[in-house]
Amino acid sequence: MKPAPFTWHGPRTVDEAVAVLAEVGHEGKVLAGGQSLIPVLAMRLAEPAHLVDINAVAGLDRIVVDATGVTIGALVRHASLERDDAAAAAQPLLRQALRLVAHPTIRNRGTTVGSLAHADPSGEMTSVLTLLGGTITARSARGERTIPATEFFVGPLESALAADELAVSAHFPAASAGTGSAFVEVARRHGDYALCGVGAVATVDPAGAVTGLRCGYLSVSETPLTVDLTDAWNSGDDAAAATAAAARAAVDPLPDIHATAEYRRQLAGVLTVRAAEQAVAQAVQRVGTMGRDNESGHNEEDRSA
Amino acid sequence: MVTRYFGTAVKRTEDLRLTTGHGRYTDDVGTGPDGEHALEVAYLRSPHAHARILDIDVTDALDVEGVVAIYTHEDLEGAAGEPLPVLIPHPGLHAARTGYALAKDTVRHVGESIVMVVAENRYLAEDAVNRIRVDYEFLAPVVGIEASRAAASTVHDDVPDNVAAHLVQERGDARAAVAGAPHTLEYDLSIERSASMPLEGKAVHAKWDADDASLRVYSSTQASTSVRAAIAAKLGLALGKVEVIAPDVGGGFGVKIVHPWPEEITVPMAAMRLGRPVKWTEDRREHFISAAHERGQEHHVRVGFDDEGRILGLDVTFWHDNGAYTPYGIICPIVTSTQLLGPYKPANYRVEFSSVYTNTVIVTPYRGAGRPQGVFVMERTMDRIAQYLGRDRTQVRSANFILPDEFPYDQGLIFQDGRPLIYDSGNYPDQLTMLKEMIGWDEFPALQQQARASGRLLGIGLGCYVEGTGPGPYEGAHVNVQTDGSVEVAIGLTSQGQGHQTVFAQIVADELGVDFDKIRVVTGDTRRFGYAVGTFASRAAVMSGSAVALAARKTKAKALRVAADVLECNPDDLEIESGLISMKGNPSTSIPLGQVAVLSNPLRYAFDEAAKAATQFAKPADPDKPPVAEGEEPGLEGKDYYSPPRSTFASGMHAAIVEIDADTSEIAIRKYCVVHDCGNLINPMIVEGQVHGGVAQGVGGALYEVMAYDESGQLQNASFMDFLMPYVTEVPRLELGHQMTPSPLNPLGIKGAGEAGVIPVAATIASAVEDAVGLRIDAMPLNPSKLFELRATATALTTNQVREGLTP
């Protein structure tokens, strides 16, 4: 379990990094946290001739929280984002999902953008980015472009990044007023890849009625799957069963040595209802809080002023 | 003997070193600033489960800069090129087959080593391995017991039925008893494969001294003396020219008792040929595909019983998947077949097993070694009988227990040590009483009912076992008092982190009357103690512990003789405490033990101040007597061996409360209780640690671990990502109760504790899950996906009921 020979590159700036990538093309791999790449190299499942180690690149470790949402640089570790209170306030789903990403030691080193670039459909953050309608910004010697999540994840372990591109940041939109979110999953062991995971974003009106319910899935489709379940959720007496059934119908899981496809499908249904209930409850609470704020004379504009 | 340390939770002397990164494992040998850099090895291992090797082309590999040598089977000379030994021959093992140090012409499992590359480092060695081309002729792989029994294809050409061994043992006439019993049941039970998975894999470091024509080998082994003998035999060396040392070993759990591993022959061979130190450290993938697994067995059971649930006849047939070769013989199935009986006394018992070949990694003992399977069979049987009769599960067990006044109890079978299966002591009814109280057995039905009312599925289960521990043939120990009063203890048996340095020092401290911190214990170093058997079968404390006690007693007797001479008194009037020998009742007349050590070694040369006292002009001596008296030897030391007539039988019972998530079928262990009897406890903390670790591995075997072979013989989960050892988050908090029924067989009254924790876990969890969901659990391990499937098809499970009784 020793990697094949490779040339190590240690750029100090994004420009240097993309210059190297332009030069080495398909022979190159970007190394950030290394939590997926290093085992792959050690097992010689991949033998890139060049490793472009961006850990010393300046300016990629920032978390920027503004009215639009949370933007993170390519070197922001999962753990940093998980612990960032401003990020959690702007988009609660981030922390809700990040605490389920592998183990603390892996989160300390692994980067969220690296995980997105890895495009593993069993990764929590790929699912979150898609569910929230986020974007990835990629830079190359040719210029910079911003790619919506829906276009970024092309297939299992396959992203829209070109060989000469570096994913420099990811943007997660802020939670809008009247929304709540939740993230639940079932894994064989704590911190393992989930057999199935579900993120939910619910929107309620001031009266508490659910006006939107969208769920994002992991491990049950080839690319991150997002499903609008608003109608099922509002379908009447047995809405929970209808929602679960809709979720089961939407997913397309594969069997493996840990679980059958049927079991994963069952989980998709069960976890959808659990996530939806939590998300709706949170949305109702946030609407309620907002209402009380309004009554006491502090509306949204006042708070942001 | 004043017991100051025996029975006390003395802190482990090993831990500071091991937990602060100061352990010295085989891979660390020679890596210090003055270390001689060792060449490193990588093996080309078969990517195919069954194939003939047509051609090996190493031309491209030789071009890799830094490659020093490449060896194939053709390069093995003499005995090294012959098949590896069958370590434990048995008359029932009629078709034993073993592999070669490097595959000769056929490979029989993925992972079998074919080519050895020696290079300046492991990276280069692996680069070279990748450039070797082997032409194979593919042969049909045999995977799984069913395929092996069908024998449409064979693993070995000359074993047409794939059966390596067949053995029947019987007490009474079980089949007649089943036929004549008021009630009968018949069913199949199965257990899947798992493995020892020590944190440190195997490792070998060899250094050849050409001038001295001697070899020093470090190996991460559980049996250094026997590895030494095997290396000497395979490489044509005199035993006296080979030293084998097991330095710190990062866990063994059974897999490292197998020897010689191919690497234990090829690495020393390369060192001898190249004249440079050579080392190989197994990586995790190699460990998965080329070390050993265990546990895979399928059982067919017929049982006849009376209205009380007493077993009148038990007739078990089972098939043991031994993998591609049988280097360790049939110990595991023998253990299953005998230890299946547990604390019970069925009136008639027949067991028959076949050990069959498959194109998979070899099967050798893993902690528990056949017992978890046997206990699973017996405890599932107890639960079935209870359910059939509508009786409490503990009642049925009680009706079958061997009672305290029935010891020694002869089960009428031959055990794995070739000796009669005679239980020495135990008290099973009391154990069950303790367990029921701890888990809250009698209160549980109300709790279960209450939970069910709110949609929660709770279940309770239990599992009982008896474990034959401490088999012979022998272990020995050497106790040597230094002139500074400190004590060197050496045993040949190895340590893999169990705490041997601590517990053997505890024994010596009490027996000899010295302070604990004055004692140093060396284990598994053939330079220090050449005769030993090994660390397996929960035998270290029983065997080496007893030998250490006997050697310490000899040492003490000599110390008192020498001291009595000096103090001019009778040895019986003396006692030793904290290293000071003094007259009983007159402590002012005394002499330190270190001074006695000086005097026990008559000297010509005073190499230090203390030594002066032992030199020839130091004091007047009897001119007619030799300085070393007749029958004495110089030095204050004692060596002794312990060889018991047979094994001693530890026992225990586990109980669990589990909760099944009604929607996801996830299985959570809510409470786990253990009652454990290993006789007298040397160190309760270490015993508890052993039980905790054992239960953790048991949880792995019950709910997580499988070896997922596909039909072509590829192991699909050969990494820690997909082979699911439980994390600490998956292991329940344990409640532990000790029962102590001392063994009458050894001087310390102890029984083995190493494997116990793992043994009944699968049976216990199965019992509890069955209770929670009301569905038969016939196979372990169980996972949520399987349980979901079982529950989803529950309505179709009437077939279970059909099988409850024998067809009329």
Look at residue A289 in the predicted model and tell me its pLDDT.
66
- Decide if A8 touches B, using CB distance below 8 A: no
Note the helical H segments in B74-188.
122-129, 145-150, 174-180
Answer for the pair A149, A169: CB distance below 8 angstroms, yes or no: no
Which residue is listed with tokens 């493996």?
A: A256
The predicted complex's ipTM stands at 0.92
Distance from CA of A194 to the nearest CA of B (A): 12
Look at residue B33 in the predicted model and tell me its pLDDT.
79
- Sorting pLDDT into bands at 50, 70 and 90, what band is B795? low
pLDDT in tens, B48-84: 999 999 999 999 999 999 999 999 999 999 999 999 9
- Sorting pLDDT into bands at 50, 70 and 90, what band is B1? low
Share of chain B above pLDDT 70, in %: 98
pLDDT in tens, B295-310: 999 999 999 999 999 9
pLDDT in tens, B435-479: 999 999 999 999 999 999 999 999 999 999 999 999 999 999 999
Look at residue B801 in the predicted model and tell me its pLDDT.
41
Q: What is the 3-state secondary structure (H, E, C) of B66-77?
A: CEEEEECHHHCC
Looking at residues A103-117, what average pLDDT do you find? 97
Note the helical H segments in B497-545.
500-512
Q: Is A194 helix (H, G, I), strand (E, B) or coil?
A: strand
- Decide if B120 touches A, using CB distance below 8 A: no
Please determine whether the domains at B15-139+196-290 and B475-642 fall in the same fold group of CATH.
no
Answer for the pair B401, B344: CB distance below 8 angstroms, yes or no: yes
- Sorting pLDDT into bands at 50, 70 and 90, what band is A305? very low
Residue B808, pLDDT above cutoff 60: no
pLDDT in tens, B82-117: 999 999 999 999 999 999 999 999 999 999 999 999
Chain B residues within an 8 Å CB radius of A267: 664
pLDDT in tens, B230-262: 999 999 999 999 999 999 999 999 999 999 999
Question: In the numeric block, which tokens belong to residue B746?
Answer: 């050894």
The CA dihedral of B269, B275, B277, B283, to the nearest 10 degrees, is -40
Average per-residue pLDDT in chain A? 93
Distance CA B560, CA B582 (A): 9
pLDDT in tens, B367-382: 999 999 999 999 999 9
Domain boundaries, chain B: 15-139+196-290, 297-471+645-802, 475-642
Question: In the numeric block, which tokens belong to residue B732?
Answer: 């329940």
Cβ contact A259–B704 (<8 Å): no
Peptide bond into A39 cis (omega under 30): no
Query: What is the identity of the amino acid at B43?
Result: Y
- Decide if A240 touches B, using CB distance below 8 A: no
Distance CA B380, CA B186 (A): 12
Classify residue B440 as left (phi > 0), alpha (psi -120 to 50) or beta: left
Query: Residue B206 pairs with which residues in a beta bridge?
Result: B217, B278
Looking at residues B278-291, what average pLDDT do you find? 97
Look at residue A287 in the predicted model and tell me its pLDDT.
87
Peptide bond into B260 cis (omega under 30): yes
Average per-residue pLDDT in chain B? 95
Looking at residues A213-234, what average pLDDT do you find? 96
Handedness of CA B670, B675, B678, B683 (dihedral sign): positive
pLDDT in tens, B696-754: 999 999 999 999 999 999 999 999 999 999 999 999 999 999 999 999 999 999 999 99
Q: What is the CATH number of domain B15-139+196-290?
A: 3.90.1170.50
| Nearest residue of chain A to residue B716 (CA atoms) | A257
* Fold for the domain defined by A7-53: 3.30.43
Residue B806, pLDDT above cutoff 70: no
Q: What is the CATH number of domain A63-173?
A: 3.30.465.10
The sheet that has B133-138: what strands, in order across it? Answer: B106-107, B51-57, B133-138
Among B283, B785, B786, B787, pick the best mutation site for testing chain A contact (most A Cβ within 10 A). B785
Looking at residues A163-171, what average pLDDT do you find? 98
Burial of B285 (0-12, 13-18, 19+ CB in 10 A): middle
Look at residue A290 in the predicted model and tell me its pLDDT.
58
Distance CA B112, CA B105 (A): 12
Residue B495, pLDDT above cutoff 60: yes
Residue B562, pLDDT above cutoff 80: yes
Look at residue B805 in the predicted model and tell me its pLDDT.
36
Look at residue B2 in the predicted model and tell me its pLDDT.
62
Look at residue B126 in the predicted model and tell me its pLDDT.
98
Distance CA B769, CA B457 (A): 9
Residue B552, pLDDT above cutoff 60: yes
Among B663, B705, B724, B787, pick the best mutation site for testing chain A contact (most A Cβ within 10 A). B663
Answer for the pair B539, B752: CB distance below 8 angstroms, yes or no: yes
Answer for the pair B787, B802: CB distance below 8 angstroms, yes or no: no
Distance CA B399, CA B397 (A): 5
Looking at residues A164-190, what average pLDDT do you find? 97
Chain A residues within an 8 Å CB radius of B282: none
- Decide if B65 touches A, using CB distance below 8 A: no
CA angle (B503 as vertex; B498, B505 as ends), nearest 5: 130
Residue B796, pLDDT above cutoff 60: no
Which residues are CB-neighbours of B597 under 8 A, at least 6 positions away? Answer: B481, B482, B483, B485, B559, B635, B636
Cβ contact A259–B726 (<8 Å): no
Distance from CA of B686 to the nearest CA of A (A): 27
Least confident range from B20-29, B313-322, B549-558, B797-806: namely B797-806
- Decide if A188 touches B, using CB distance below 8 A: yes
Query: What is the identity of the amino acid at B739?
Result: Q
Domain boundaries, chain A: 7-53, 63-173, 179-295
pLDDT in tens, A256-269: 999 999 999 999 99
Give the 3-state secondary structure percentages of chain B, helix then strand then coil, rounded to 5. 30, 25, 40
Among A266, A272, A277, pick the best mutation site for testing chain B contact (most B Cβ within 10 A). A266
CA atoms within 13 A on the CB side of B231: 35
pLDDT in tens, A12-38: 999 999 999 999 999 999 999 999 999
- Decide if B668 touches A, using CB distance below 8 A: no
Distance CA B436, CA B653 (A): 10
Note the helical H segments in B492-615.
500-512, 546-567, 593-599
Residue B613, pLDDT above cutoff 60: yes
Question: In the numeric block, which tokens belong to residue A163?
Answer: 């060989």
The sheet that has A50-53: what strands, in order across it? Answer: A7-9, A50-53, A28-31
Q: Which of B666, B704, B722 sits opposite A186 (nearest CB)?
A: B666
Straight-line distance from the first to the last Cα atom of chain B, in angstroms, rounded to the nearest whole number: 65
Look at residue A299 in the predicted model and tell me its pLDDT.
42
Q: Is B441 helix (H, G, I), strand (E, B) or coil?
A: coil
Residue B413, pLDDT above cutoff 90: yes
Question: In the numeric block, which tokens belong to residue B406?
Answer: 């029935």
Residues written for chain B: 808
Handedness of CA B567, B572, B577, B583 (dihedral sign): negative
Query: What is the identity of the amino acid at A75?
Result: L
The neighbour count for residue B527, using CB atoms within 10 Å, is 12
- Decide if A2 touches B, using CB distance below 8 A: yes
Looking at residues A85-105, what average pLDDT do you find? 97
CA-to-CA dists, residue B529 to A176, A190, B23, B25, B478, angstroms:
74, 45, 21, 20, 8
Q: What is the CATH number of domain B475-642?
A: 3.30.365.10
Distance CA B304, CA B309 (A): 9
Q: Does domain A179-295 have CATH number 3.40.50.720?
A: no
Cβ contact A2–B126 (<8 Å): yes
CA-to-CA dists, residue A5 to A42, B127, B444, angstroms:
11, 8, 61
